[in-house]
Structure formats: C-alpha cells, structure tokens
Chains A and B, each alone.
Chain A
C-alpha cells in the first residue's frame, strides 16, 4: 500500500504552491470541508487522514508505531516527499499543529509557512505553565472515551470508513465522520493529551501564523500566546469565534486570516 493510500490523501486545486491540511484528534479530513475549497484556485490542496482516523488504512496502525506525535510527523514528511513538496503552506488543526511543527523540524525544506489552528504544545498544567488540564483530567478522559464508541464494531468499519460506491450505506450511519476504532481513539487521545512539545517551538524556522479562538476549552488563549511567544517572528490572530474548531464554526474568518498571511 502506498503512502498516499495509507493516509487517504486527496488532491485538488491548481497552482504553483501546495497547501497541506491536517486534521486533529476526533474527526478526519472533512474538518477542512468548509476551508480547503477556498484555496483550490491558486494552490494545489492536499488533504489526508491521520493513520487510524477517517478512511486511512487501519491495518497500517499499531499502538507501538504510533506511540508519539513524531510518528505522525514522519507520516506527514513521507506524504510531502511522495508529492515532492517544497516550501509548501502547512495548515494544521489542534494536535496536528504540533505534528506540522515536528515535520518542519525533521525537514525544514517542506514548509515555508505554518498555519497553526488552535494549537497547544502541552495540554496538562506544569508549574507556571497553564495548559488547561490536570493529569487526572486526562486520565478521566481516556477512561470515559469508550462510553461514546459503543456503536463501533469491526464489522461496521469498512462501511464507516467510507464506501464511495455506495454512499447510502454511510448515510444510514450517523456520526460517521468522527467514528474511530475505540482502541485507536484512546491511543490517539493519550498521545495527543500527554504530549509536550514546548521545547520544539523555539527551533521553528518557518514563518508561522497562529489562529486562536476567544473561548477554547481545549487550547485557551494563554496557550496560543505561549506558542506565539516561543516561535520567533510568529504572529497570532484572535478569531472572532468560540470553541476549538473555527474551521467549522467560523470558516470565513479562517480563510481570510490564511489569505492575509500567505
């Protein structure tokens, strides 16, 4: 299976530069449905599913391999190399903001610009640093995730994972684009919410834009400011939006901010 199949890479748009969109914990590349098409006129747009999410190849997933964010960053580097990308624009939401940071440190030639949407380098409080959560909060989250994955079964996986020939199948299944194998969801949540990438921020050399929502329960404003203060030359735009997913709740604001930056 090729890298592009493994990560369900979807290409669209035309232009000299490429723009790569990465989704975070919880859903899949559909998170960019209201944003990515706006850049198809002028950019090659590249969307993909993290391994374990969406229509990625679940057989490529193993808890051992995907034990930290670097593994996801390595996948991203592979995708970019497969597509021969240079100086592309990277747009990463939530945990994928940090995955993009790690990928750009692995190979600085890939991305000239980083757009970090609702980023957090560390979710758990640590001394003076306020990530927004305690370690006990995250343990409780990991424990409770299974409560909302009752409907999952291996039998349903092929249907849930997208069946382009028979769209009516997936329509019967509600909540489908956020469905994940509960074991993988738990692993990904653990990797996400226990990650600590604060020391990586100062190594970033790409131009960086941070998009921050006013009221974000996952990545609060002070965390966005922390990222801005630790990536040299970066700028932060406070969006007139609430919640953690401005790409869905305020797509026009996100589009405008990215346009103004690149």
Chain B
C-alpha cells in the first residue's frame, strides 16, 4: 500500500508539477481529438452534455462503447491480452480528458472498471473467456449487487443468502442501489454462504444472469426524477457453481480488491476542470446571478486553487502507480476531496443560475431532443447536477467511511 507517512519521511517519490507534456503526448492527444471529431455524432455529444450524474443516456452510452470497442479502445485500462490498448498512464489520462472535453457520453462502466479487473485477478480461464469479451464490447451490461436495505456502509452484514444445492447455488434476498439494473443482463453479487463465521468470512462472489427465473427488478426515481437506481429481488434463483468468482467464502477479499479499483480509477480533476469552465462562463453571463459579484469570484478562485491542489495530488498518485504501487488509502483522500469539490462547484453553479435552474423538464435529457427548453440552455441540467452531486459522497464508500480508512490506515488511529 502506498503510505503517506512513508512518502513523507522517505521522500523518494514526490510530486510532479506542471511540467509540460512531452511532444509525443501532444501527437497522441491530437490523434485522440481527430478520432473524437469524426466518431461523435451530435446526438452522442448532446447525451454527453446533458449528463447529470455518472451515467449518460443509456443507449447513447452503449452506442459509444461499441464505437470505442470497434476502434480497439473499449477498455484502455485493461492489459493488452484482454483487449487493452497498451497506453501508459499519461495516455490513458489524456484519452479520458479528451473524451470529457469533447462531451462524449459515459458508457455504463461497472463491467469494465470494476468487474473486469476482478475477473482477471480471481477468475478461472473459463470465466475470463466467457465474460471478458462481452464486457469490453458492451454487449453485456453488468450491474453491482452489493448494498442491501439493511446493509449500506456496514456491507459485511449483508443477508442475501446462497445455499448450495448440487451444482447450483440457490439465492434468496434483495439488493438495493443497484444502478442500471433495469438495463443490465448480468449482475455481480455478494451473497452469504456461511452464517456461522464472522460476517466477512461467510461471503461469496456470484455472477448471476439477470434472465434467471426468480429475479425481479424494481426501478425507482431519484430526487431529480430520473431512474437510475433499482432494487433487485431474488427468490429461489438458481446459479451454477461455475459462476462463483474466487473461492467460496472468499467474496470479501474479492470485493475489497474491487472497491480499490472503484476508488483509485477515478480522475476527478478532469470533470472538475470542466465545472470550472462552467463557473467562468457563469461569471461572464449577464443573465447570471454571479455577474459582477466579487464575493462569487473569490469563491470560484479559491475553488480553482483547490482543484489545482487535487490535480497535483492525482499526479502524485499516478507517479506511484507507475512505480507499481497500489493507491490504497491515498485513493480515499482523492475520493473525499474530489467529490466534495464537485459538490462545491455544483453549489456555485446553482447559485449563479438562481430561479432559472428550477424548470423541471425530463424530456430535455434525451439525446434526440432538439425542442425548446424551459430553462436557459446553460441551466438545463444545473439543478439535476446539483441534486445528484449529493450522492457522490455516499456511493462508493461514504465520505465518513473514507475518513475512517484514512484515520486507520494512514494515521494509525
């Protein structure tokens, strides 16, 4: 694990600053830009622009994933043998940055970002062969079945059971906050296979076909009125033992590995810099409440400085990843800072928009929508983004859980 304390005292790996990117990266960036210019249709761009959470319009995201896959860029983070690009960390960062700047939509990434690394690490050859191609092509859409109504931050208390019956497990219980379950054909689940040991030791990791009889998906709208979240019910769902990832009762180890990827794999400053651009535009917009408000300008400037500090910290992490380290607790630091800064940007944007962000118009989020908007164009998604920003410090390990990780693993408290 990359230890901050060690970092501090040894001082062998320190931060890079803003040294200019070498020329070959410029060429690389230009080639990405050229591709994006050709591949992104107006509909895809609109879906990207009108993204109000981590998920874009589902069909647009899926279409974009298949375009990327056809280009050979379906999963840049993966090893080459499984369809990765072989890009270095900096190239991958440039790719993500350019996609964001060009308003490419976000595909559903649970399979690529989370399950993929797990399968490669814990999966059998048969499992890799069966599942990895469908993940990278986007043909299979995976959702994550972790949280339950009674098990949120205390995930290890989960109660969904899987009982062995011959060559099958029989699964009973329910999962909630299962993002995109209503669009998914597979779910990776944590289930209880042993009730008589300490909670973490009795959990297994199952890959479940959503078409299996006994599964019911109940989508429900979030505060912004959109449907991304679901509850999934399992009633005597029969899952082949071959779909067990890792050993039986090893599920907690598998999940912990996955959570690290979830936290470490995010580059917050790409999105935050885009938000800063919106704040600059808001300050220049005569219709904005932020125009000619020096107190607003100071807050934006302080936010920009905090984004600079986070960007330099992300570069430090990339440096340690290049050196082969696991981001460990440092990814908790970045998750807390990145999400809280995103919330601050969203607050500033809603303040600049004022009442003009209040019209609620769901159809405007559809990529093929070209009609009038009740809100001014720049404010169409402002309220939804603000609402959805509140979830960012809850999912993927709450800010409180992250602070607990830092206290325990960095400060030794």
The answer on A and B forming one complex is no
- Which B residues fall within an 8 A CB radius of A? none
